[in-house]
Amino acid sequence: GAGVSQSPRYKVAKRGQDVALRCDPISGHVSLFWYQQALGQGPEFLTYFQNEAQLDKSGLPSDRFFAERPEGSVSTLKIQRTQQEDSAVYLCASSLGASGSSDEQFFGPGTRLTVL
């Protein structure tokens, strides 16, 4: 497909479990973003990659959150020792240009994480 894909679409975890969320951006897109969308809220920025470099991780809520994009394409967001407050939809977006461009961000369908 030509769009951004994310897997899994739904994830249920027990509190304390580790989870890994995958994002496949549009091929050739330089920039990749992760956002967290809590129920009834707008998406909130988590982290930004330009190719394989993580240029901004100021939005990660705690050191339990870790993201990587080792080859500048697929990205993984990992959450260790999940807590109930981590329950949200995690959105991935990619854009063609580098930071500072006004290129459109294309969003994936999101992964809905529920922590019991």
Partner 1 sequence: AQSVTQLGSHVSVSEGALVLLRCNYSSSVPPYLFWYVQYPNQGLQLLLKYTTGATLVKGINGFEAEFKKSETSFHLTKPSAHMSDAAEYFCAVSDQAYSTLTFGKGTMLLVSP
In the complex, the residues that contact partner 1 under the rule CB under 8 A are 3-4, 31, 33, 35, 40-45, 48, 56, 59, 91, 93, 95, 97, 99-110
**108 neighbors 1 (Cβ within 8 angstroms):** no
Nearest to partner 1 of 35, 65 (CB atom) = 35
Q: Considering only CA atoms, which of 39, 5, 35 is closest in space to residue 23? A: 5
Nearest to partner 1 of 66, 107 (CB atom) = 107
Residue 107: CA atoms inside 13 Å, Cβ hemisphere, count?
A: 12
Q: Least Å distance between CB 95 and partner 1?
A: 7
